[in-house]
Homo-oligomer: A and B are copies of this chain.
C-alpha cells in the first residue's frame, strides 16, 4: 500500500493553525538572503533587514555577561575550583554558580529536575516576585517551562474541551494564542483594542464580546491580556488593570496574563504592574480569582530567546486541578536546566554591592535606552509617511502602524489573490530587503490594514531602514495613489 498520510488525512486542527511570525514573508526573506549570498548584485539591497520577530540577539544584541558567566560555570562545574577561573570569571558569577549548584540535588545539571523546575530556583523566583509586587509568592505556584509558549499551550490544553469553549483574546494579538487555541480545538473570542486611543483595552468591549459569545453558545473560560502589548506596545494603566481583574472575578474567568515584556517599558509616564499585584492590592486572594502570569527569558533587556527559559505562576486553582497541571508538566519531564537557571538569573540579577553590579547595570541600561530611542525614531518615521499612523510603543518590542491603502493597491492585491497588507509587505521586502509581518497575522479590525515592525535592528541600521522605507513608500503611493 502507498504511504497513507496526505494533507487530506492529517489533523484538521493542525491545518487550521496559522503562525504568521514565521510565515510566507519570512520564508521569502530567507530565499532572498540565499540569493544575495550567491549573487550580491541580485537585488537593489545587500542585506535583509529583519524586523519581523522579537529575536534581539539574532540582530546583534549582546547577552548580559554575568548571566552567561553563570551558565558556563554551571555547565562545567569542574572548573570552579581552578585558579584560572578566577581570572576568566567575575567573583560574583563564581559565587552565584556555586549557590545554584548547591540548590540542585546532587549538583546534577544534567538530570531531569522536579517537573515544575528545581525547587531552589523556584524559591529565588518566588522571592523576586515578592520583591517586585510586595505580595507573597509561593515557589509551589511556579511551573518552569521552555520559554513561555509551552506554558500557554499547557493552560489551553487544560481549559479547552471543545469548540464550544472560548478564550477571549485581544485583536491584534500575538499569534501564539490563535495558534494554540486552534490546535486545542477551542474558539478564539476576539476583543478589539482601541487603536484610536493608543490600543486601550476597554472593559465595555470585553463585556460586549463575552455576551455575544455566550449568545452563540460559547462558554468563555479565560481572558488573555498581553501587557505590555504584543504587537501593539501599549502598557496598561493600573486602574484599567483593576477593572480587568474585577471583570474576570465577576465572570469567573481565568486571567491569562502574558507579562513577558515586563522589563520593556520605555515611557516615564507608564510603569509595569503585574496582574497578581493588582489583584492582591484589591484584596483578592487565592479563592477569588484564577490567575496565571507568564514570564520568559526571551524578552526584557536579556533577550535570551534561544535558551528557552520561562515560567508561569499559577494561582487560584484548587488542589485537584493543580494536580492535573502538574501531570501535564510531568509528561514532558521538565524544562531545560540551562533555561531554568537563566530564568532565576533574570529574576534575580546582580545587586548593589555585587562585583558585577556596575557592568551589569551599564549593559542593561544601554540596551533598554537604545530600544527606547529606536522605538521613538521608527514611530516618528512611520507617522511621517503618507496614509500611515502609528501609536507609540510604550513598551514591548514592536510598532503596529496602520496603513490606509489606496483602493488601487487593494485592487492590485486582490488581482493576485493576496491580502492587501501582505501585498504591501511583499513589495517592501522585494524592493528594500525590509521584513515586516502583515497585520492579518495578528488580527485587525476588518477593512483596516497594518503591519508589525520590531524595534530590534541595531541602532546604527535604523536610519537606513527609515530611508529605504520612506523611499519605497513614496514609490508605492505614487504607483497606487487613488
User: A159-203: which have CB < 8 Å to B?
Assistant: 159-161, 176, 179-180, 183-184
Question: Are A14 and B339 neighbours in the complex by a CB distance under 8 Å?
Answer: no
Which has the most chain B C-beta neighbours within 10 Å: A1, A115, A289? A1
User: 1/0 contact trace for A328-366 toward B, CB 8 Å?
Assistant: 101111111111000000000000000000000000000
Per-residue CB proximity of A1-26 to B under 8 Å, as 1/0? 11111110111111101010110000
Q: Give the docked Cα–Cα distance between A65 and B78 (Å).
A: 9
The residues in A between 46 and 97 inclusive whose CB is less than 8 angstroms from any CB of B are 53, 55-60, 63, 65, 68-69, 71-73, 75-76, 78-79, 82, 84-85, 87-89
Q: A111 and B68 in contact (CB under 8 A), knowing A3-B289, A320-B7?
A: no
Tell me which residues across on chain B come within 8 A of A13, comparing CB atoms.
157
Distance in angstroms from A25 CB to nearest chain B CB is 13
A120 at the interface (CB under 8 A from B): no
- Select the stretch in A235-243, A264-272, A298-306, A471-479 that faces chain B: A298-306
A316 sits at the interface (CB 8 A): yes
Residues in B with CB closer than 8 Å to A253 are 4
A390 to chain B, nearest CB (A): 25
Residues in B neighbouring A89, C-beta threshold 8 A:
79
A149 within 8 A of B: yes
Q: Contacts A111-B58, A159-B10, A321-B10 known; A5 to B337 CB distance under 8 Å? A: no
> A71 near B75 (CB under 8 angstroms)?
yes
Chain B proximity of A278: nearest CB distance (Å)? 17
Please name all residues of chain B whose beta carbon is closer than 8 Å to the beta carbon of A184 when the two chains form the complex. Answer: 11
Task: Establish whether residues B328 and A14, one from each chain, have CB atoms under 8 Å apart when the complex forms.
Answer: yes
- Give Cα distance in the complex from A123 to B87, angstroms: 36
**A394 interfacial contact with B, CB 8 Å:** no
Cβ-closest chain B residue relative to A73: B72
Q: Is residue A134 contacting chain B, with contact meaning CB distance below 8 A?
A: no
Closest residue of B by beta carbon distance from A147? B333
A76 CB → nearest B CB, Å: 4
Question: Is A146 among interface residues, defined by CB-CB distance under 8 A?
Answer: yes
The winner among A15, A19, A22, A336 for most chain B CB atoms within 10 A is A336
Give the interface segment out of A101-109, A398-406, A420-428, A441-449: A101-109
Contact of A111 among B1, B7, B55, B338 (CB under 8 A): B55
B321→A5 contact, CB < 8 A: yes
Q: Does A386 contact B (CB under 8 A)?
A: no
Quick one: closest B residue to A150, CB to CB?
Answer: B332
Contacts of A283 in B (CB 8 A): none
The complex places the Cα of A82 from the Cα of B176 at a distance, in Å, of: 42
Q: Does A221 contact B (CB under 8 A)?
A: yes
- Which residue of chain B has its CB nearest to the CB of A30? B114
Q: In whole angstroms, what is the CA distance A9 to B332 when docked?
A: 23
CB contact between A221 and one of B5, B180, B290 (< 8 Å): that residue: B5
Q: Inside 8 A of A208's CB, which chain B residues have their CB?
A: none
Q: Is the CB of B324 within 8 A of A1?
A: no
* Chain B residues, Cβ within 8 Å of A109: 57, 63, 306
Residue of B whose beta carbon sits closest to that of A288: B3
Q: Is A327 an interface residue (CB 8 A)?
A: yes
The segment out of A244-252, A411-419, A430-438, A459-467 that lies at the interface is A244-252
- From the candidates B11, B75, B334, name the one contacting A72 in the complex (CB within 8 A): B75
Interchain CB contact under 8 A, B68 and A290: no
Tell me whether A58 and B327 are in contact (CB under 8 A). no
A441 to chain B minimum Cβ distance, whole angstroms, is: 12
Q: How far is the CA of A312 from the CA of B320 in the complex (A)?
A: 35
CA distance A459 to B412 in the complex (A): 73
> Are A112 and B5 neighbours in the complex by a CB distance under 8 Å?
no
CB neighbours of A146 from chain B (8 A): 146, 308, 332, 335-336
Q: Are A316 and B75 in contact (CB under 8 A)?
A: no
Using A82-B88, A336-B306 as known contacts, say yes or no to A161 and B71 having CB atoms under 8 A apart.
Answer: no
Q: How far is the CA of A183 from the CA of B78 in the complex (A)?
A: 41
The 3 nearest A-B residue pairs measured at CB: A4-B252, A58-B111, A72-B76
Binding site for B on A (CB under 8 A): 1-7, 9-15, 17, 19, 21-22, 53, 55-60, 63, 65, 68-69, 71-73, 75-76, 78-79, 82, 84-85, 87-89, 105-106, 108-113, 115, 146-147, 149-150, 153, 157-161, 176, 179-180, 183-184, 221, 249-254, 287-290, 298, 303-308, 316-318, 320-321, 324, 327-328, 330-339
List 9 contacting pairs A-B, 8 Å CB cutoff, sorted by A.
A5-B221, A10-B161, A22-B330, A58-B111, A82-B88, A85-B88, A108-B306, A183-B331, A308-B337
